[in-house]
Amino acid sequence: MLRYPLLHPGLIGALAGAGHGSRVLLADANYPHSTGVRAEAQRVHLNLRPGLVTVDQVLEVLLDAVPVESAAVMVPSGGEGDVLARGAKVPAHAGYRAALAAAAPSAAWRGLDRFAFYDAARGDDVALLVATGDERAYANVMLTVGVRQG
């Protein structure tokens, strides 16, 4: 038994195999989990039911487990950063920004429109997709693993 908040064997194994520059996609319930990442990427399904588990819950645990150097979020086409084309922010992104600021203050942040995000998620550097039951629109975040200090 581990004395650590992260207990899921699949997540532990996938994160242990990911190194500097590897990407981890935390995907909402609407994301195409089977086709939205490269075939070789590991998949961990935590989408127990709608709304459970959320991306925020997984992010909280992962930020304690791995160093993060950057994060990319999905925004609708016509948006910029994490702002929707109509000027409003994507609601899901505020919590991600706060969690990253606390755990990885130097982590870079960028918004990618939906299709650019899909292209990035299918890249060779994506090691893991975590499927969640998060029902919020554009609640996807892709983390780039950083370097462990010390």
Predicted local confidence at residue 88, as pLDDT? 61
- Judge whether residue 139 has pLDDT over 70: yes
145 in Cβ contact with 82 (< 8 Å) = no
Ordered by start, the domain boundaries in the chain are 9-145
pLDDT digits (tens, 9 = 90+) for 68-115: 999 999 988 765 555 554 546 788 999 999 999 999 999 999 999 899
Residue of 118, 41, 37 whose CA lies nearest to 72: 118
Architecture (CATH level 2) of domain 9-145: 3-Layer(aba) Sandwich (3.40)
End-to-end CA distance of the chain: 25
**Three-state DSSP string of 20-69:** CCCEEEEECCCCCCCCCCCCCCEEEECCCECCECCHHHHHHHHHHHCCEE
Predicted local confidence at residue 110, as pLDDT? 92
When mean pLDDT is compared over 6-10, 83-87, 114-118, 128-132, the highest value belongs to: 128-132
Indicate the pTM of the whole model: 0.92
Mean pLDDT, residues 23-32:
98
